[in-house]
Amino acid sequence: MRTLALPALRAELQALQADLDDSAHPICAGQQHPAALPLSRDILRADLEQIAAALTLERARYYLERLIRGITAARSNGDNDINLNRWKEYGDIHTDSLWMIERRDSSGVHTADYWGNFVPQIPNQMLRRYTRPGDWVIDPFAGSGTTLIEAQRLGRNALGIELQPRMVARIQAAVATEPNPHHTQCVAVQGNSATIDVRALLGDLQVREAQLAVLHPPYFDIIRFSDDADDLSNAPSVDAFLALMGQVVDNLTPALARGRYLVLVIGDKYMRGDWIPLGFLTMNEVQQRGFRLKSIVVKNFEQTVGKRQQKELWRYRALAGGFFVFKHEYLFCFSETLREFRSQNSEVQWNHCVYCVGFELHGFLPS
């Protein structure tokens, strides 16, 4: 192995930067091995600039070896396919606990006409953080099918359980219309999530267990979704609502793989002039069933279908009543602890031919 002096190394890096700026160069023209790892040009350029700016050859070598490791080996936490060696490539994945989403994703078959459905960005983020391609997610309050649509887009499989038959038909139509390039299974069934045999449903799909559960229940009685007595929005009291939510969690838990995640999306409500912390009360129900709270995310919402035409009225009510208008909801992220089985960070070697950089640099590193 030959070692370059810093000036020679910087000259070669400068030449490589020029190649990156030439869209016709094989580096950028897509003439890569089919297994090559795609890289962000901006991030790659920043990495190369950091190498060139190193004050010592030893430091430059450290940066270069780190970059090569990032494109030839994957380091994962075991729950997802995020390559931690290339963590900068995932700038669109949220890691903060405050989400300000200005506009819901309305692409494809996503619609906002179903009162109470959550924005597609929520299941999108959770699926990418807590699952890998080919994994299974359960949504026991499938609604209009937002989770299933996102799962299909991301190459995950999904089982949606929905109480209302008309919504099951709607989900099935949406999933059939949405492109399925990964050939995943996204199945919606009618049933009561508190009592239906979830493991049997998975078994019918030749699946032993799911890797994620995403729960977006009714926020008690804020929206009455049906006249069905089993509908959580028809619970006679907050205590009854919480008891039913506990039954749903109890019913789902055996179908969830060891140590995997459950995400609860819920907000609070007012009742007879009092703020009811429905989110935290429901959070407690989940914790009491052997789940460890990993994170609380606060997400904004600017307007809902129900309040869109009543903005000024709600502002008046707030001024008159001494309260504040809801502008947020919660995402509670849990991992199971009673059967917890978490793998350690693992190094997975990729047999990639990475043509996009050409890192031989004339013998600076071993070939």
- Closest to 123 in 3D by CA, of 98, 149, 159, 87: 149
Tell me the CB-side half-sphere exposure of residue 129, using CA atoms within 13 A. Answer: 22
Percentage of residues in the chain with pLDDT exceeding 70? 82
Do residues 245 and 285 touch, judged by C-beta distance below 8 A?
yes
pLDDT at position 342 is 36
Low-confidence ranges of the chain (pLDDT < 70): 1-4, 27-37, 112-116, 221-226, 302-309, 338-367
d(CA 134, CA 129): 14
pLDDT at position 114 is 60
| One-character DSSP codes across 76-113 | E-SSS---GGGGGG-TTS--SSEE---S----TT--S-
pLDDT at position 112 is 65
d(CA 245, CA 120): 23
Instruction: Output the six-digit token pair for 33.
Output: 């091995």
Phi, psi angle pair for 333, to nearest 5°: -110, 120
pLDDT at position 223 is 65
d(CA 201, CA 221): 29
Q: Under CATH, which number does the domain 105-300+331-336 receive? A: 3.40.50.150
pLDDT at position 311 is 78
| One-character DSSP codes across 243-263 | HHHHHHHHHHGGGEEEEEEEE
340-360 confidence digits (pLDDT tens): 433 444 444 333 333 333 333
Do residues 286 and 264 touch, judged by C-beta distance below 8 A?
yes
Phi, psi angle pair for 193, to nearest 5°: -65, -15
Q: Which residues contact 316 (CB under 8 A, 6 or more apart)?
A: none
Strand order from edge to edge, sheet including 291-300: 98-99, 291-300, 328-336, 256-266, 210-215, 136-139, 157-162, 186-190
Identify the bridge partners of residue 75 per DSSP, sorted by sequence position.
347
254-272 confidence digits (pLDDT tens): 999 999 999 999 998 888 8
Q: Where in the chain is the domain with CATH 3.40.50.150?
A: 105-300+331-336
pLDDT at position 62 is 92
- Closest to 141 in 3D by CA, of 119, 117, 121, 110: 117
pLDDT at position 367 is 36
pLDDT at position 5 is 84
d(CA 234, CA 252): 21
pTM score: 0.81
Tell me the CB-side half-sphere exposure of residue 270, using CA atoms within 13 A. Answer: 11
- Closest to 173 in 3D by CA, of 149, 207, 198, 204: 149
For the chain, helix (H) and strand (E) counts, in that order, are 10, 12
Q: Is 242 helix (H, G, I), strand (E, B) or coil?
A: helix
pLDDT at position 288 is 94
